[in-house]
Chains A and B, each alone.
Chain A
Amino acid sequence: MSGIVRNKISAFSVQSLQRVGPYALSLRGYSSGAKEMTVRDALNSALDEEMSADPKVFLMGEEVGEYQGAYKVSKGLLEKYGPDRVIDTPVTEAGFAGIGVGAAFYGLKPIVEFMTFNFSMQAIDHIINSAAKSNYMSAGQISVPIVFRGPNGAAAGVAAQHSQCYAAWYGSCPGLKVLAPYLADDARGLLKAVIRDPDPVVFLENELLYSESFPVSSEVLDSSFCLRIGKAKIEKEGTDVTITAYSKMVGHALKAAETLSKEGINAEVINLHSIRPLDRQTINASVRKTNRLVTVEEGFPQHGVGAEICASIVEQSFNYLDAPAERIAGADVPMPYAANLERMALPQVEDIVRATKRACYRSEPRAATA
C-alpha cells in the first residue's frame, strides 16, 4: 500500500516532533517547513483531497452541505463537489446510515457523518449488523468500504445524551476498525487512510479539539500522506511510567507528564490512535520498559478501553509490572449538566498526576481533592 511508503517519510518527521513534543511552541522557529493547522482544517483538507482523488467517495450526513457542516468540518465541500457528492440528509440516522452501507455494498465509498456519535445509537444496527459483519457473513464477497465519522465524547455543558464516549462499544465489535485521532496530523493522516480502507471504520473525532491547532510539517501536507491503521504513537518518550490515552485525553496526559517531570517522574505518553485493532505490541513493549501503567480515557469505566489494555498487559507482561495498573476513566454516571459536576465527572490533569504518582508509589491519597 502506498500508505506504508509514505509512512517512513512521515515517521521521520514525526520522530522529530516526538522529541520536542507538540506543546513546545519552539517548533515555530525550528524548521522552515513547520506551520500550524487546526484539527478542523486537517479533517477538511483530508476530505477534500480524498474526494477529488476518487469520484466514488461521497459525504452524507445532517447539515454537511449548505450549513457547511454542523461543526464546519465540511466547509466549502458543497461548493466544490456539488449536491450529488455532498448530501444533506433528513434527520434519520437509521435511514441514511443504512443507505450508506448499501452504497458501500455496491461499490461506492461513502463517508457518513453523525452530528455526534450519540446519534449513531439510532443507527447502530446498521453500523454493527450491516456494515461490520457483512464481510464475514458473505465470506469475503462483500466488503464495506464505509467511514462513519463524527465528534465523540463530552463537549461542554451538553448533558447526558450528548456526552457519551463510544470507543469501548465500537471497539468491542469484530469487523469494525475504530480510530481516534488527537493531533492535526493524526486527524489528517488517519482520515485519509480510513477513506482508502476497504473495511468499515468508525472514526471518533472530538468537538473540543476541532479548534485546537497543532504544528504540521510539509510531509503531512502532502496529498498522499497516510498513517498506518493499528499503530499507536509514542508522543513523549519516558522511562518511569507508561500513560496511554486517546483523543482529547492525550492532551491532558501530556500536560500531566510535564507536571510530573518537574517532580522527577519521566512518563512515557502513548497516543493510541487505533482503538481497534489495539496496538498491543507497542503498549506492551512500553510497559516492559517502564514497568508501570496508567490508562486514561473519557468514557465509562466498566468494560472500557482501559480495561482491555490492563487485561492485555496482565496477559502478556504480568511479570514486568512493578505496581498495579491504574485506570482513569470518566465517572460511572450519566454526564451531569451542572458545570461543576461535569468537571468532576471527567478526568482532569490532576487526576492523571495523582494516579501516576500512586503507580510510582509516591503515596497520594485515593480520594480526589479537586
Chain B
Amino acid sequence: MSCAFLSVNIAQPNPLTSNRHSTNAIKLFSPSFLGSTRKLRPHSLSKSLPSPSKSLRSSVFAVSDVVKELKSNLLITKEEGLELYEDMILGRAFEDMCAQMYYRGKMFGFVHLYNGQEAVSTGFIKLLRKDDCVVSTYRDHVHALSKGVPARAVMSELFGKTTGCCRGQGGSMHMFDKEHNVLGGFAFIGEGIPVATGAAFTSLYKRYVLKEADSDAVTLAFFGDGTCNNGQFYECLNMAALWKLPIVFVVENNLWAIGMSHLRATSDPEIWKKGPAFGMSGVHVDGMDVLKVREVAKEAILRARRGEGPTLVECETYRFRGHSLADPDELRDPDEKAHYANRDPITALKKYMIENKLVNESELKAIEKKIDEVVEDAVEFADESPLPPRSQLLENVFADPKGFGIAPDGTYRCEDPKFTQGTAHV
C-alpha cells in the first residue's frame, strides 16, 4: 500500500531510492492537500487503519471540489492567468486552423485535434521547466505548443515542409523536439508510456549513478482512456512505482477511443483506482477546468521531483471534434457533446478571471488577436517553406550513416558525395 507523504518510513530494497527525502520537504506538504482529506473515499482496508489525518493510508482522493473551497484565495495571479489563457487560446486557434488547412488539402494523412482538452495540456505543461520531458500520443500538436515548440515549426511539420520540427519526416503524429524535450508523438497508443518511463528512469540514473545532484527532471506521459486497457500501461505503472520514478501518468479520459466508448471497453471505468493497485496515488480531476488540473498537477509534479514516486492522474475531459478529421463522429450522443461544450475550459477560465476581477475583457481580446496573428504567421511561413529536397529522403536513417553499407568501389556508400542525391535505388 502506498502512502503519499511519509514514504520515508517504508523500507525500500532498491538502492536508487535511498537518501532521497528531506524531512523539510515532507513538512511543507503534509498532511492535508487543499481539502483532499475531506473527500477521502472510503477504502475497505481503511477501517482497520488509523484516522485519515495520520500517515499510512492509500492516497486515493478526489479533488473536484478544490476550486470551490478556495474562492476566497485566488488560485492564480494575473500573470499566471494570462499565461494560461494565452496557451489555451493558442491550442484552440491552432487546431481550428489545422482543420481548415486539412480541408484545403494542405495537410494530409491522419490529423487528430485537441479541441476541448486544452485545460489538461495547459494545466500540466505550463508548470514544467525546460528540461522536463513530455511524451504524448498522436494527439500531440498542443502538447508540443504548450511545451514551447514554436507554432511555425509545428505548422510546417504538418504541411510536410522541410522547416518543420522534424523536417517534414514525422508529420502530425510524430512531433519530436530535442530542445524543448518533447519526446514524441507516437502513433500506437501505449507506445509512449514505456518511453516516458525510460526518460524518468534516466533522470534518476543521472542523479544516483552519474552523481549529477541537480538532476530532478520530471516526465509527463499523456495518453487516453483506450490506452488504459493496454498491457504496456500496467507494466509501466508497476515499474514506475517499484522504482519510484519521477513521472506523472496523465490520463486524458475523453470517454471515447475512436468509436469505442470507454464504458464498453473497460471492466472498471474508474482509471484513477488503478494507481493504488500498483502502490501509487491515483487522482481524479475535472479536466475541463484548468485551475483544478493545475492544482493537482502542482502536487503530482512536486511529488515526482522530490523523489517520492509516480502519480496517476485521471482527467475527465472531452474532445469536441471527432477522433481525427477523417472520423464522421456518428456514435457520440449530441447531448453529451452539448454537455461538455458548456464546460468549455477557455470560457470557464475567462469567466473565472473576469468575475474575480483579475483582468478585463480588452486584455483577453488583445491576447486572442495576438494569437490569431501568430497562427496566421505560422500558416504563411509553412506555405512559403520549401518541400523537402530529394536528397533528404535518405538522410537521418542512421546517426552514423555507415549503416548503408559498402559501395561497389569499396568505400562507405555514405561517403560518396552523390549518396544523398536520393537515388533511392535498390
Instruction: With A156-B109, A329-B426 as known contacts, state yes or no: A336 contacts B231, CB within 8 Å.
Output: no
Chain B's interface size range is: 35 or more
Q: Are A91 and B260 in contact (CB under 8 A)?
A: yes
Point out the residue from B109, B226, B331 that lies within 8 Å of A66, measured CB to CB. Answer: B331
Q: Smallest Cβ distance from A74 to chain B, in angstroms?
A: 12
User: In this complex, which of B109, B166, B190, B388 has the most chain A Cβ atoms within 10 angstroms of its Cβ?
Assistant: B109
Q: Is the interface of A mostly helix, strand, loop or mixed?
A: loop
Point out the residue from A63, A90, A122, A338 that lies within 8 Å of B169, measured CB to CB. Answer: A338
Instruction: With A91-B265, A159-B174, A160-B174 as known contacts, state yes or no: A332 contacts B426, CB within 8 Å.
Output: yes
Q: Count of A residues near B, CB < 8 Å? A: 42
Instruction: With A119-B188, A301-B426 as known contacts, state yes or no: A159 contacts B173, CB within 8 Å.
Output: yes
Instruction: With A345-B424, A366-B425 as known contacts, state yes or no: A63 contacts B258, CB within 8 Å.
Output: yes
Closest to A340 in B: B387
B423 beta carbon closer than 8 Å to chain A: yes
Q: Are B394 and A333 in contact (CB under 8 A)?
A: yes
Q: Are B229 and A91 in contact (CB under 8 A)?
A: yes
Q: List chain A residues, Cβ under 8 A from B370.
A: none
Point out the residue from B109, B168, B227 that lies within 8 Å of A91, measured CB to CB. Answer: B227
A82 beta carbon closer than 8 Å to chain B: no
Q: Are B393 and A91 in contact (CB under 8 A)?
A: no
Point out the residue from A66, A118, A122, A334 that lies within 8 Å of B259, measured CB to CB. Answer: A66
CA A91 – CA B260 in complex, angstroms?
9
Q: Smallest Cβ distance from A369 to chain B, in angstroms?
A: 11
Q: Are A90 and B266 in contact (CB under 8 A)?
A: yes
Q: Is the interface of B mostly helix, strand, loop or mixed?
A: loop
A103 beta carbon closer than 8 Å to chain B: no
Q: Are A336 and B260 in contact (CB under 8 A)?
A: no
Q: Are B388 and A336 in contact (CB under 8 A)?
A: yes
Point out the residue from A62, A90, A345 that lies within 8 Å of B393, measured CB to CB. Answer: A345
B171 beta carbon closer than 8 Å to chain A: yes
A59 beta carbon closer than 8 Å to chain B: no
Q: Are A368 and B425 in contact (CB under 8 A)?
A: yes
B347 beta carbon closer than 8 Å to chain A: no
Q: List chain A residues, Cβ under 8 A from B174.
A: 159-161, 337
B108 beta carbon closer than 8 Å to chain A: yes
Closest to B421 in A: A367
Q: Smallest Cβ distance from B401 to chain A, in angstroms?
A: 11
Point out the residue from A156, A161, A341 that lies within 8 Å of B388, measured CB to CB. Answer: A341
CA A156 – CA B110 in complex, angstroms?
9
CA A94 – CA B226 in complex, angstroms?
14
Q: List chain A residues, Cβ under 8 A from B394.
A: 331-333
Closest to A91 in B: B226
Q: Are B393 and A339 in contact (CB under 8 A)?
A: no
Q: List chain A residues, Cβ under 8 A from B387.
A: 338-340
Closest to B258 in A: A63
Q: Smallest Cβ distance from A277 to chain B, in angstroms?
A: 25
User: In this complex, which of A94, A157, A341 has the most chain B Cβ atoms within 10 angstroms of its Cβ?
Assistant: A341
Q: Are A67 and B258 in contact (CB under 8 A)?
A: yes
CA A340 – CA B387 in complex, angstroms?
7
Q: Are B109 and A337 in contact (CB under 8 A)?
A: yes
Closest to B262 in A: A90
A199 beta carbon closer than 8 Å to chain B: no
Q: Are B229 and A90 in contact (CB under 8 A)?
A: yes
Q: List chain B residues, Cβ under 8 A from A70.
A: 258
CA A90 – CA B394 in complex, angstroms?
37
A92 beta carbon closer than 8 Å to chain B: yes
Closest to B331 in A: A66
Residues of chain A in range 316-356 having any CB-CB distance to chain B below 8 Å: 327-329, 331-334, 336-341, 344-345
Residues of chain B in range 146-166 having any CB-CB distance to chain A below 8 Å: 157, 160-162, 166
Q: Are B425 and A91 in contact (CB under 8 A)?
A: no
Q: List chain A residues, Cβ under 8 A from B108.
A: 156-157, 339
Q: List chain A residues, Cβ under 8 A from B266.
A: 90
Instruction: With A159-B171, A341-B388 as known contacts, state yes or no: A333 contacts B423, CB within 8 Å.
Output: no
Closest to B187 in A: A161
Q: List chain B residues, Cβ under 8 A from A331.
A: 393-394, 424, 426
B186 beta carbon closer than 8 Å to chain A: yes
Q: Mark A120-131, 1 if CB is under 8 A from B, else 0.
A: 001000000000
CA A341 – CA B390 in complex, angstroms?
7
B170 beta carbon closer than 8 Å to chain A: yes
Q: What are 28 A-B residue pairs whose CB atoms fall within 8 Å in the complex?
A: A66-B259, A67-B258, A67-B260, A70-B258, A88-B260, A88-B264, A90-B266, A91-B226, A91-B227, A91-B229, A91-B265, A92-B229, A95-B231, A157-B108, A158-B110, A159-B173, A162-B173, A332-B394, A336-B168, A336-B393, A337-B157, A337-B168, A337-B172, A339-B160, A340-B160, A340-B387, A341-B168, A344-B422
Point out residues on A near B: beta carbons under 8 Å.
62-63, 66-67, 70, 88-92, 94-95, 118-119, 122, 155-162, 301, 327-329, 331-334, 336-341, 344-345, 366-368
Nearest 8 pairs of A and B residues by beta carbon = A157-B109, A337-B171, A338-B160, A67-B259, A338-B168, A90-B229, A157-B108, A90-B265
Q: A158-B171, A344-B390 are known contacts; what are 19 more A-B pairs with Cβ within 8 Å?
A: A66-B259, A66-B260, A66-B331, A89-B265, A91-B229, A118-B188, A159-B170, A161-B187, A162-B187, A327-B426, A329-B426, A332-B424, A333-B397, A336-B168, A336-B169, A337-B174, A338-B161, A341-B388, A345-B393
